[in-house]
Structure 1
Amino acid sequence: MDDLFDSAIELEQSHIQQGARDGKRDGMRTGLAEGRALGLQKGYEIGMEVGHYAGCVRMWRALQQQQPGSIPTKLERSIAAMEECLLQYPLYKPQDEELHELLEQLRGKYKTVLAGLGLSAADYGSSSSSAAGGSGSGSSSGAAAASGGQQPVSLAF
């Protein structure tokens, strides 16, 4: 009688082990596909955000050339710091640990420049306002009042 139960237990154990192997194999396949999809999505989002910051820096530089003195010296230093972060940004090294630190620096400098110009990320049309920490509820007049009544700089070319 013991042999009957032993063989039943062995059969059950072999089914459990086979199920565990199959589950691990299927989970690895599914996890790899989901991980790639998530990585692609996050990489795209970060690329869009960094591209937005690069475009803003180029636009502010063009504004500065067309309207000298329109950007205060303090903001000029923040823009230069953004340029430096963008030059150091490891676009082709996604595993670089500096990536997130530089992105946080870019976000901080971006918010500093916008506030100095009397703008908010929402007013500025930032696609990354939520990623950059913008609440989306500010207005340029509120920002101007908070910065001592200074009116926003005209960004029209």
Structure 2
Amino acid sequence: MDRPPDLFDAIVMAEERYRGEGFQEGYAEGRCLGLAEGRRAGVVRGASIGSEIGSYRGFALTWKCLLSGSTSDKDRKKAKMLDSLLGMVQRFPYADPTHGELHEDLDRIRGKFKQVCSLLSVQPDFHVSPGGSALSF
């Protein structure tokens, strides 16, 4: 025989039931907001890295063009280093943000850029700000 629901049981358990429902609603809303915020942060960081890599590429192409008419051994060594930097930039995994060595590759490119700048006797000043990046000499 089924007993009718206890009135006091519903009152006593109301707090537990509402707390559980509130948790589920809050969790679902937080998850949606977290995904949106993460996506926004990823876009900003990706744009920053893309701008940095693009600056390195433009730098290398410009110097390669400037050195193209020279035949000295020093300039050929500089051109070879610029080719190496360009090769690293071209192999950078733009399309795969989950690439396991993405940050290591970026660090290697930064190191090669510094090496090239030293060889060219150029003092770079690269800094990324929320409004964009700037590379000056």
Report 1:11-90 matches (<5 A).
11-69=14-72, 71=75, 73=77, 75-90=78-93
For structure 2, list consecutive stretches of 5 or more residues without a partner in the other structure.
1-5, 130-136
Task: Give percent identity, aligned residues only.
Answer: 29
SS of 1:71's partner is helix
Aligned partners of 1:107 and 1:9: how far apart in 2?
Answer: 64
Matched residues in 2 for 1:120 and 1:128: separation?
17
Q: TM-score, normalised by structure 2?
A: 0.77
- Tell me if the contact between 2:67 and 2:79 (Cα under 8 Å) persists in the aligned partners: no
The 2-side partners of 1:78 and 1:43 are apart by: 26
Moved over 6 A (4+): none
Indicate the structure (1 or 2) with the bigger Cα radius of gyration.
Answer: 2
Deviations 1:40-70 (A, max 9, x none): 1111111101111111110111011134436
Secondary structure in structure 1 of the residue aligned to 2:68 = helix
**Offset of 1:72 from its aligned partner?**
6.2
What is the CA–CA distance in structure 2 between the aligned matches of 1:128 and 1:76, rounded to whole Å?
27
Distance (whole Å) between structure 1 residues aligned to residue 17 and residue 128 of structure 2: 53
Q: Which structure has the highest helix share of the two?
A: 2
Gaps of 5+ in 1: 130-139, 141-157
RMSD: 2.5
Which one of the candidate residues 91, 96, 101 is aligned to 1:93? 96
How many residue pairs match? The answer is: 124
1:118 positional shift = 2.1
Letter in 2 for 1:85: M
Q: Which has the higher strand share?
A: 2
Contact 2:64 2:79 in 1 (8 A): no
